[in-house]
């Protein structure tokens, strides 16, 4: 080839190579540890074992953080998002990058509890029993180490939770429980939305000083709702018919069938809720109100869904009714109310984790582990 013509090609090749090198050298969003207390260990993606973490250590993508029974840490993303890690937790930062739809942070939480204060974008938390997501808001995700049930609270914003049985969206002051796969029946339980308890609001304030303003707003709202009208003397919680607008109570069309009025339900196990079909309905919303006036709603397209009664931990009498909606989300009508009673549910045990052996360069065998070699009940063989 003539050197006169070869020179431009050589220059072009060098420019393209330089551009490629510059693209590869762009750093991913950083994630820095701080506010360490107690036992906090870290393992980067290219390391064999965990080592004590230091303040300002950068957690790389696919890196892991593990806290002991007394361990706590704060993870600050360069985007401004804060993730607080509670004691006895193990999680992996699987992705932290900009996409065409904005910043997406993905986390795999094996055990323990994390609080996410999101500054724009989206965070997805993969757990053993489903996925929790939040957009621009405050969300807590907790994995029970024994049952593998997932407890998710949404202090503010747009949250969602999903498992193979379905997906629900929830928002300010609401929570969802993702129950683990039921091996005895071979089924998953569809998630439902419930109101947060006072203890769950307090938990946010105790662990996240940034939540103070939202906490105060929530408490003010709860206090206002609990006050009786000025013209009435405080009495017992009103019945459902008294609480609902007259047009809803009197416009009953389709009817509830099961459980029958006044039924006494067990404190655990599946219960079938059934009603007749409403013409033109695209979906239904079941509303439950307990004796304290706490309200929970579940959306479904079925007319005879079954739910684990454990999603209602309080004992006593419950009022419930069903509302039918068209495809354009306009309300058609509501059934009359029905009621049932149930015993108070057993509290979920929070066992103390047994002391774990110090990580060494040689992984300690553990059993049982799944087919991929991951172990949920000990850290020793995780990821090997």
Q: Are residues 49 and 151 in the same domain?
A: yes
Q: Are residues 79 and 137 in the same domain?
A: yes
Q: Are residues 327 and 365 in the same domain?
A: no
Q: Are residues 198 and 308 in the same domain?
A: no
| Cα 308 from Cα 155, distance rounded (Å) | 24
Residue 256 resides in a domain = yes
Highest mean pLDDT (candidates 110-119, 282-291, 368-377): 110-119
Whether 288 contacts 319, CB under 8 Å? yes
- Boundary residue ending a domain (163, 186, 217): 217
Return the CATH number at 203: 2.60.120.1440
- Phi and psi torsions of 3, nearest 5°: -60, -30
| Cα 187 from Cα 144, distance rounded (Å) | 19
CA distances from 190 to 79, 167, 187, 305 (A): 34, 8, 10, 9
Q: For residue 104, name the pLDDT band (cuts at 50, 70, 90).
A: confident
Residue 96 resides in a domain = yes
Q: Are residues 113 and 190 in the same domain?
A: yes
Q: Are residues 374 and 267 in the same domain?
A: no
Q: Are residues 326 and 302 in the same domain?
A: yes
Residue 235 resides in a domain = no
- Coil vs helix vs strand at 379: coil
Our count of domains for the chain comes to: 3
Q: Are residues 188 and 275 in the same domain?
A: no
Number of residues written out for the chain: 384
Containing domain of residue 373, as a range? 354-384
pLDDT digits (tens, 9 = 90+) for 183-238: 888 999 988 889 999 999 999 999 999 899 989 988 887 777 655 555 555 545 54
**pTM of the predicted structure, to 2 decimals:** 0.57
Which residues make Cβ contacts (< 8 Å) with residue 60, sequence separation at least 6? 31, 44, 45, 93
Listing DSSP states for 108-149 in one string gives EEEEEEEEEE--SSEEEEEETTEEEEEEEEEEEEEE-TTT--
pLDDT digits (tens, 9 = 90+) for 273-296: 999 999 889 999 999 888 887 888
Whether 134 contacts 118, CB under 8 Å? yes
Residue 17 resides in a domain = no
Residue 313 resides in a domain = yes
Q: Are residues 193 and 252 in the same domain?
A: no
């Amino acid at each position: 080839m003539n050197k006169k013509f070869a020179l431009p090609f050589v220059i072009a090749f060098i420019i393209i190579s330089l551009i490629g090198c510059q693209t590869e050298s762009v750093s991913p969003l950083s994630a820095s540890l701080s506010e360490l207390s107690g036992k906090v260990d870290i393992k980067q993606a290219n390391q064999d074992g965990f080592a004590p973490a230091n303040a300002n250590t950068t957690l790389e993508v696919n890196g892991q953080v593990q806290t002991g029974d007394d361990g706590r840490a704060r993870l600050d993303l360069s985007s401004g998002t804060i993730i607080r890690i509670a004691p006895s937790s193990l999680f992996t930062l699987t992705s932290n990058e900009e996409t065409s739809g904005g910043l997406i942070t993905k986390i795999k939480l094996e055990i323990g509890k994390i609080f996410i204060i999101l500054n724009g974008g989206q965070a997805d938390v993969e757990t053993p029993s489903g996925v929790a997501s939040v957009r621009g808001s405050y969300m807590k995700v907790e994995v029970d180490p024994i049952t593998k049930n997932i407890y998710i609270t949404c202090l503010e914003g747009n949250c969602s939770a999903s498992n193979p049985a379905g997906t629900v969206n929830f928002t300010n002051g609401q929570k969802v429980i993702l129950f683990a796969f039921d091996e005895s029946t071979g089924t998953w339980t569809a998630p439902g939305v419930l109101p947060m308890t006072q203890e769950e609001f307090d938990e946010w304030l105790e662990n996240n000083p940034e939540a103070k303003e939202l906490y105060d707003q929530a408490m003010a709202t709860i206090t206002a709702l609990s006050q009786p009208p000025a013209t009435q003397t405080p009495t017992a919680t009103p019945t459902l018919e008294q609480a609902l607008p007259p047009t809803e109570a009197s416009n009953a069309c389709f009817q509830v069938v099961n459980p029958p009025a006044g039924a006494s339900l067990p404190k655990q196990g599946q219960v079938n809720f059934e009603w007749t079909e409403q013409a033109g309905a695209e979906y239904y919303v079941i509303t439950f109100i307990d004796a304290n006036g706490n309200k929970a709603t579940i959306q479904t397209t079925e007319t005879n869904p079954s739910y684990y009664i454990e999603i209602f931990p309080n004992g006593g009498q419950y009022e419930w009714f069903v509302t039918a909606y068209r495809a354009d989300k306009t309300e058609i009508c509501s059934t009359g109310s029905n009621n049932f009673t149930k015993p108070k549910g057993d509290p979920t045990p929070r066992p103390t984790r047994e002391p774990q052996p110090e990580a060494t360069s040689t992984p300690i065998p553990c059993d049982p582990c799944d087919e991929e070699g991951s172990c949920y009940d000990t850290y020793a063989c995780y990821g090997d």
